[in-house]
Amino acid sequence: MSLLNPVLLPPQVKAYLSQGERFIKWDDETTIASPVILRVDPKGYYLYWTYQSKEMEFLDITSIRDTRFGKFAKIPKSQKLRDVFNMDFPDNHFLLKTLTVVSGPDMVDLTFHNFVSYKENVGKDWAEDVLALAKHPATTNAPRSTFLDKILVKLKMQLNPEGKIPVKNFFQMFPADRKRVEAALSACHLAKGKNDAINPEDFPESVYKSFLMSLCPRPEIDEIFTSHHAKAKPYMTKEHLTKFINKKQRDSRLNSLLFPPARPDQVQGLIEKYEPSGINVQRGQLSPEGMVWFLCGPENSVLAQDKLLLHQDMTQPLNHYFINSSHNTYLTAGQFSGLSSAEMYRQVLLSGCRCVELDCWKGKPPDEEPIITHGFTMTTDILFKEAIEAIAESAFKTSPYPVILSFENHVDSSRQQAKMAEYCRTMFGDMLLTEPLEKFPLKPGVPLPSPEDLRGKILIKNKKNQFSGSTVPSKEPDGEAEDSCPPSAPSGEDTVWAAEEGAELEEMEEEEEESGNLDEEEMKKMQSDEGTASLEVTAYEEMSSLVNYIQPTKFVSFELSAQKNRSYIISSFTELKAYDLLSKASVQFVDYNKRQMSRIYPKGTRMDSSNYMPQMFWNAGCQMVALNFQTMDLPMQQNMALFEFNGQSGYLLKHEFMRRPDKQFNPFSVDSIDVVVATTLSITVISGQFLSERSVRTYVEVELFGLPGDPKRRYRTKLSPNTNSINPVWKEEPFVFEKILMPELASLRVAVMEESNRFLGHRIIPINALNSGYHHLCLHSESNIPLTMPALFVFLELKDYVPDTWADLTVALTNPIKYFSAHDKKSVKLKEATGSLPEKLFPSGSPVSRQVNGSSVPASNGSAGHLPAHPVFLQQLESRSRRRKRLWSRRQPAPRSCAS
């Protein structure tokens, strides 16, 4: 049980990281190279370096996005620095000593911290082990206690020359209310003047916790404590704490045999861990302060921590998964005039994305190097080979599962396409999948291989054709550009090629270019919602030979796709086209995605790189719902939050209704789904802690993403009573989402805003990854980086949805003795009032009864619940319930008469 044994343990810091290593830190802009000692604190919170002047610089591990060494690390450009490192001398072995740490608040705004070690291969170890700390799931999903501990660690590391903690650091760490900080320091008998300093020995963890309790009192937890402990006693016994855990913190839906409730002897360990008073520990008692720290601990994580780890079956066919996908991956800003960068491929892959897009265009003489850019716009270019190199280095740093390269190929030159294919072969090496796997031939009816089958492989998505002979002349005239010879017009080359789809495919490919010039009709296409995707050229043999399991084809109809039954065919749709298909033929679209894959991408008129909401296309089982990763808007935040789970593998197994051919699923008209139990979610926003650096009023939004038929989507609290952002309390009724039809497809978003609507922090969590009970919800930034200070205290209750008409039957099922006891009492009262007893437990004609073999038994309402409705089962249930009632009545003393 997670309350007693947390699943997710904190990362372990290797000894050499905390002991430190000598490096030279350099900066190209300042041309300064400084000796430093690089370290990681023993708890793995910070990477920091100390200069010879004893000055320190800190880097929060959660802000680290990448680490690089060797040829992938940054290399000094200034001659001054090159001379310092003797880079222009032969055999200097500089690349064996490099280390670059990349950090930033998002994927675009990056800082590169560059180091050179004194010994070879040191940088390699540091790069691997520091990145492992940054990517550990407990680093970004730590409990509240860890984030509070991070503050203490930093305070005790940032010492003045006398080795003391400057009081001004407290004011900088807790800036929202200086007077409260001073009062809290005084309450702990510590100096409070801005020029004062505190001896670290006078500020141990116990004093720090007292300081926090004084700075941020928790009256709302005191109320919870009071309602669950022995009356008139200032403590909670281990029996009371056990009852609280089983009643409030435990999911009521858990099977008691598989997940046994906590016992008092087990709970004693929690008291020993969290109770500050030694005497209370000996007596098995928990104080209100101990209750606060218990609710901040890892045992009370709001997340089902096992869901963060790789836990899903990865051996299903590829099209059975949602795949984390990117659109126009190379862009750092808008679609019309933004900068392109190979760095974006690294950042997107490091975030867990498994499908990236490459818009390839023909390079100009004299080099004729293929480029990547957004065609017919003012976006900048990058070299194709730079993007391939970035992908080769970063493809499997975060996830070992297959990467799909989605080519939008406009290179109508056989020579340059051959160059592209050669770069892929040489830079990817064995990672590139060039031939189908033996067990999964490219034949109709054969399923796709699984992510596990394709582990560590890169797949090319590009138009594919069948060839005989060669598409490239043996020798081309020097300096002659191949602008006018796309494969559709071989121009005398001895080439025979045939479209795999025959006459149907020829029809589909009418939109392809016939020359290097765009006519007016093609310009209109380019400016349409499809953008330049409609102008893609056909592949020459070299590129075509790299394509296997992901073969793009223009969509014709669901009927034709079903007839062909080829899993390796993929169609791409703009968001508008996909929505049109979804609204007109939702069941067929879901069935289509059971057999093969679809890719959805933003319409071409989204010039600001904004995103569409991905939920509607996940609801239809679309695998590659591609988004602009450079824009951290709400759709992208939802995407990042969802794919944080299952080990950040980039693959999430779809629900069986989106995989099984014998099941039908319509996301728009779902009332109830066979054998899927709807969920009722209730969330009470109780209080907040350190929500803003300013003294402001705040409010909380609660929002549900799911199926169209799910309940009201958004709630909002009132503004906090006063300008207190340290510990505001909201005393409001719970927000209830009564019937979440398919919890596996739904997510909850909780966001905190200032009175001025300024964003402060949020969290998006899948419904099936939430835990019931009282929890501290540690907030994240817009780009999903955990915020150290801000948190919300909430109460969550998740249970199976049961219609009101089934309430009595539910009680009878879960606790027959209690139900029939209550029923007998009602019967006695009814007899007193009417002089007769009801003939049957469930009267005929009631909403919870039906006739079975002449008897009235509880009914199953198919449109309003998911309890079994089989007649035999209902007969057995009634028989068993009556038998238990008889056994129970025999144990009871005979009832006295009314007269006595």
Distance between CA atoms of 566 and 579, rounded to whole angstroms? 23
- The helix (run of H) or strand (run of E) holding residue 516 is none
Given 136, 240, 320, 374, the catalytic residue: 374
Distance between CA atoms of 497 and 210, rounded to whole angstroms? 78
DSSP assignment, residue 769? Answer: G
Distance between CA atoms of 314 and 272, rounded to whole angstroms? 40
- Residue of 260, 262, 257 whose CA lies nearest to 243: 262
Distance between CA atoms of 159 and 206, rounded to whole angstroms? 20
- Residue of 370, 356, 355 whose CA lies nearest to 420: 370
- Reply yes or no on whether 866 is catalytic: no
Question: Half-sphere exposure of residue 795, counting CA atoms within 13 Å on the CB side?
Answer: 15
Strand residues in 234-300 grouped as ranges (E): 236-237, 285-286
Q: Which DSSP string do the residues of 17-68 spell out, in sequence order?
A: HHH-EEEEEEETTTTEEEEEEEEE-TTSSEEEEEETTS-EEEEEGGGEEEEE
- Residue of 425, 599, 408, 442 whose CA lies nearest to 512: 408
Distance between CA atoms of 702 and 715, rounded to whole angstroms? 5
Q: Which whole-number Å values give the CA distances from 532 to 387, 417, 513, in the listed order? A: 20, 18, 11
DSSP assignment, residue 155? Answer: H
Write down the H helix ranges in 568-633.
575-584, 586-595, 615-618
Which position has the token pair 């780009």?
783
- Residue of 886, 862, 759, 755 whose CA lies nearest to 806: 862
- Reply yes or no on whether 136 is catalytic: no
Given 327, 410, 780, 866, the catalytic residue: 327
Distance between CA atoms of 529 and 452, rounded to whole angstroms? 36
Strand residues in 458-577 grouped as ranges (E): 458-461, 466-469, 495-498, 551-552, 569-574
Neighbouring C-beta atoms of residue 826, cutoff 10 Å: 12
Distance between CA atoms of 778 and 737, rounded to whole angstroms? 22
Q: Which DSSP string do the residues of 774-801 spell out, in sequence order?
A: EEEEEEE-TTSPEEEEEEEEEEEEEEE-
Tokens representing 255?
A: 């099977």
Q: Which residues are catalytic?
A: 327, 374
